[in-house]
Amino acid sequence: MADLFALLSYGPEGWGDEIAAGTWLTIRLALATLPFGLVLGFLVALGRDTKKRVPAVIALRAAANAYTTIFRGLPELLTLFIIYYGGQILLQSLVNLFVAGAYVEVSGFLAGMVALGLVFSAFASEVFLGALRAISAGQIEAAQALGLKRWQTLRFVIVPQLWRYALPGLGNLWLVLLKDTSLVSVIALSDLLRQTNVAVGVSKQPFFFYLLACLIYLVMSMVSGVVIQALEAWTYRSERRVGAA
C-alpha cells in the first residue's frame, strides 16, 4: 500500500504533480466553458421564444430551433472532432488566402471549450426557454405599463426570476459538463483523464489510478453540489425575508 501512495509523490518518481495539473486543467476548462455556454444558451432561448410573425423573426426562430436540434442530437465526441479538426482546416484555408504557406494550429483548450460550450448551450437553451415561459405574461405587461423599455424589463423583471427557475436544471448541466471535460483527452489535451491514462500506462496500476480519478471527479461534483445549493438558497432569499416578516 505504501508503494502505491508513493506513486502520488511530487517529482520525477511520482505522479502527484501530473494528476494535480490535469485536475486543474479540467477545472479551468469547465469554468471557461460555463459562461460561454450560458450566454449562448440564453441568446438561443430568446430567439426561440420570439412570437412575432415577421419574416426576420421567423427565420431567427427557425435557426435557433435548428441549432438546438443539431447540437443536442450530435454526440459530444463527434462535435469535439468537428470543431477541432474542421476548425483547423477552415482556419488554415482562411489564413492561406492572405499568407501563402502559413501554418495554423488550433488550441486544444479553445477547441474543447467551444465544442463543449456549443453542446452545453443547446441543452441550456431548453432550460432557459422553460424558465422564460414560467414567468407570467402579466408581469411583463405590468413592466410595460410602468414605462420600462424592453432591455429594462429583461434586466429588472425577467432575469432575476429566470435564474430562480433555471438554476436547478443548469446545475445538472454543470455536473454533466464537468464530466464531459474528460472527452478532451482524445485531442491530446492533458486533462485529468489523460494524465491518469499516462500514469496507468507507465506504472501498470490501472485500478489505483482510475479509482483516484473517480474520487477526484466525485469530490468536484460534491463541491459543485454544495455551491449549487448555496446559489439556490440565495435566489430565494427575498421570499425568506418576507416570510420572516
CATH number at residue 114: 1.10.3720.10
> Closest Cα partner for 174 from 131, 216, 124?
124
Q: 143 in a domain, yes or no?
A: yes
Residue 93 domain boundaries: 22-192
The three-point CA angle 225-227-228 to 5° equals: 65
Contact predicate 165/131, CB 8 Å: yes
pLDDT at res. 242: 46
- Would you give the DSSP letter of residue 144? H
The single residue listed with the C-alpha cell 452545453 is 120
Query: Residue 10: enclosing H or E segment and its boundaries?
Result: none
Q: 148 in a domain, yes or no?
A: yes
The single residue listed with the C-alpha cell 471549450 is 113
pTM for this one? 0.88
> How confident is the prediction along the chain (245 residues), in pLDDT tens digits per residue?
557 777 787 777 788 889 999 999 999 999 999 999 999 999 999 888 877 777 888 898 999 999 999 999 999 999 999 999 988 888 888 888 887 777 778 888 999 999 999 999 999 999 999 988 888 777 777 887 877 787 788 777 887 788 888 999 999 999 999 999 999 988 878 899 999 999 998 888 889 899 999 999 999 999 999 999 998 888 776 555 545 55
pLDDT at res. 225: 93
CA–CA separation, 8 and 121 (whole Å): 37
Q: 205 in a domain, yes or no?
A: no
Q: 127 in a domain, yes or no?
A: yes
pLDDT at res. 112: 93
HEC sequence for 185-226: HHHCCCCHHHHHHHHHHHHCCHHHHHHHHHHHHHHHHHHHHH
Q: 54 in a domain, yes or no?
A: yes
Q: 79 in a domain, yes or no?
A: yes
Counting the structural domains of the chain, the total is 1
Residues in the chain: 245
CA–CA separation, 225 and 205 (whole Å): 30
Q: 198 in a domain, yes or no?
A: no
